[in-house]
A and B are shown apart, each in its own frame.
Chain A
Amino acid sequence: MSDTHAHSVAFARDTMLPPAPPPPGETGAIRWIRENLFSSWSNGLLTIVSIYLIWSILSAILPWTLQGIWDAGSLGECRAIRDERGLSTAACWAVINERWLQILFGFYPTDNQLLASWFYSDELAAAGGLEAVFGPGSNSTARIEFIAAMKADIGNLVVFFFGYWRPLMALALLVVAVAPILYSSLPRKLLWFSLAYPFVAVFLLWGGTIWGPVSVAVGLVAAILVGRVVAAASGALLGMLAGIVAVLAIFLNPLPFADIGLFPLLPHVTGVLNAAMPIGLEAIPSDDFGGFMLAIIIGTSGIVLSLPLGIVLALGRQSSMPLIKWICVTFIEVIRGVPLIVWLFTASLLLNYFLPPGTNFDLLLRVIIMVTLFASAYLAEVVRGGLAALPKGQYEAADSLGLDYWKAMRLIVLPQALKISIPGIVNTFIGLFKDTTLVVFIGLRDPLGLTNAIRATAEWNGIYWELYIFVGLLFFVFCFFMSRYSMYLERKLQTDRR
């Protein structure tokens, strides 16, 4: 065969040339640019327009950001410094520098006792000792001045770490509590801490006697135990009833025994324990909560509480029992059909009319409940989408193996349906988290509300962008984490790869 070929072709190369380096313009960056940015006339044009747009945006923002002034006591000073430096434009980051603690914590009080006795002990002694400055009824000008001087002296960073150790600790422990839920490679024993965390957080944030949260936790466990024991002895229904009665007796006032003064048991237990061993932190009312901390508290509680509720609603909506289905559908449609802000107003104003007079139902708690209900209606629909996407064969396989409804849901259906719904669920969570800023309209001091408060001072009157950018960044960090986490989780749960 090669013979005939050799005859018919006049010239054929019999040794190969070594490969030569590609000509310049065919390598690396230049080639990449040509292939990706200028592959055709229209592409090239778009590239040039885009570059121009990016340049004009950056050239407006970057100098302003980077030339920003960090050290100034007021907006006026900022402007003076800017003019002095001969800058045409400059951000006044000094407001963040001075007020970031306020944006983070609102008017949540610092632990002044701790600050003073650690960092200011000499001056404390000179002022006449701890009692003279911090003792009962010492809400005097002298005390306020002392604290202000002390804080100005030791600086924001120290105040952040030591003055706000309670919310910081709550946040740090939140990370510990959430980690084993988010990452299954961590030891499963940590989940016990996750269960206990709500009580720890309430104690750290609101303070008061430690026996309050402890007896609530013990009371819940006791009610569950009572229910379990009765259920084991005489059936699930009686067990549930016994559990409910136990909850009533421990936390509320069961009507038949309203006047013997024994119920609810909880305050008695707390009182006795506290008298025996008074351990506690300074009590801080919800009114003092504010800033980004408020967003985290409302957001986290809403996220944690709304997911189970949303799942239950989604399952209820699919139920074959008409009453349950009807209740769930109505709930979802009503909650979802009305703007969140209306529900928040309902929480702050109307709920008081419906509650028995004299009940003091914490506003923050009401807001958390409303946000939770609102998000759960959305989640229910997201989860329902996941449930609907599961092939019928999965239900049938579970049935044919003899799994009952709850086991089939828990082991087969929900793990898959939730996995499908992850993007939608996280989407709802991110929305919920950002919606917490709406509480500003019912008088809670969310970060945006605080920017108003800061602007209301003489020093920072007229400053907008810097504050909003800072608050926006704070939210962005959290939302970005959630979004990244959801992508990680989706990748991890992907089992259909070959």
Chain B
Amino acid sequence: MTELQTPIAEREIDRSQMKVSDEIAIEINNMNKWYGTFHVLRDINLTVNRGERIVICGPSGSGKSTLIRCINALEEHQKGSIVVDGTLLSNDLKNIDKIRSEVGMVFQHFNLFPHLTILENCTLAPIWVRKIPKREAEETAMYFLEKVKIPEQALKYPGQLSGGQQQRVAIARSLCMRPRIMLFDEPTSALDPEMIKEVLDTMIQLAEEGMTMLCVTHEMGFARSVANRVIFMDQGQIVEQNEPEPFFTDPQNERTKLFLSQILGH
């Protein structure tokens, strides 16, 4: 616990504020997924409580993205069950829509809508999915844009913003739907170091407010100070999971050790 402790936020991160409740937010049972004959996810079992911040790490191609994309049905799983907020994920489009409106997602490449302004990016789904009046949706959008500290960019287009700003807009866009769960798929890996910090700051703030978060990331500093559980995946399986402190200092599995030594540069 030395070099990796680069400060990721200016202020003290107050972990005591981040409470975890007993309520279950996501429950995954024996989930399996294949791409053709390729078995990407094997027997995934995972229960996430409300308010938990989970960091998922693992080597490239281990199925991290696939796992969190299964949770909001961007990918279809073939076996086992996923229950999000009490709703069983099935082929029923109604359930899928319900889950998607509860679960926000932030992508590695932001995926903002380039033909719409920042404000329109943020109000589109609330207006068309939640049927919120335009005025109100814009107020909400401005509230969250202020929260991610870029209200002054509201009328620009995504192409006119820096990567870090775009990712913060993407977070605000998700928040405008008032999700109860947020999924992050390597939100910082397309960004320069200074920009990484501004995005992580935003995510820490979210965590402090009690958001349930599943986060695929290799930012171990973030995992250490914010996560309450770190999950290590390899070859489509959850190999090890633990609280961050023991996970980093005392990994049990050989593959975890190897991965950590590579990623921490020892």
Interface residues of A, Cβ cutoff 8 Å to B: 391, 393-394, 396-397, 399-404, 407, 411-412, 415-416, 419, 493, 495-498
Contacts and interface: CB of A to CB of B under 8 A. Distances in A.
A401 B129 contact: yes
Contacts of A402: 97, 100-101, 125, 129, 177
Interface string B123-165: 0110011000000000000000000000000000111100000
A407 B131 CA distance: 13
A469 B125 CA distance: 54
29 contacts: A396-B107, A396-B111, A397-B111, A397-B112, A399-B73, A399-B74, A399-B100, A400-B100, A400-B104, A401-B100, A401-B174, A401-B177, A402-B129, A403-B125, A403-B128, A403-B129, A404-B97, A407-B129, A411-B124, A415-B115, A416-B113, A419-B115, A495-B157, A495-B158, A495-B159, A496-B114, A496-B159, A497-B159, A498-B159
Between A402, A407, A412, A496, the greatest number of chain B beta carbons within 10 A of the residue's beta carbon is seen for A402
A402 B93 CA distance: 11
A393 B101 contact: no
A495 B114 contact: yes
A196 B29 CA distance: 58
Nearest to A400: B105
Interface string B51-88: 00000000000000000000011100000000000000
Given A397-B111, A416-B113, A495-B158, 11 more contacts: A393-B109, A396-B74, A397-B113, A399-B74, A401-B100, A401-B124, A407-B129, A412-B124, A415-B115, A496-B114, A496-B159
B173 interface: yes
Contacts of B111: 391, 393-394, 396-397
A452 to B, nearest CB: 49
A493 B115 contact: yes
A317 B83 CA distance: 34
A498 B165 CA distance: 14
A41 B73 CA distance: 67
A401 B173 contact: yes
Interface residues of B, number: 28
A403 B128 CA distance: 7
B235 to A, nearest CB: 24
B125 A416 contact: no
Contacts of B100: 399-402
Nearest to A399: B74
A411 B128 contact: yes
B59 to A, nearest CB: 23
Contacts of A396: 74, 107, 111
A495 B115 contact: yes
A393 B166 CA distance: 14
Contacts of A496: 114, 157, 159
A412 B113 contact: yes
Contacts of B124: 401, 403, 411-412
B113 to A, nearest CB: 6
Contacts of A415: 115
A397 B177 CA distance: 13
A401 B173 CA distance: 9
Contacts of A394: 111, 113
Contacts of B114: 416, 495-496
A394 B121 CA distance: 12
Nearest to B108: A393
A415 B115 CA distance: 8
Contacts of B93: 404
Nearest to B176: A401
A400 to B, nearest CB: 4
Contacts of B129: 401-403, 407
Contacts of A495: 114-115, 157-159
A391 B128 CA distance: 22
A403 B74 CA distance: 12
Contacts of A403: 124-125, 128-129
A419 B160 CA distance: 19
A246 B80 CA distance: 48
B184 to A, nearest CB: 12
B144 to A, nearest CB: 14
Given A401-B100, A498-B159, A416 B115 contact: yes
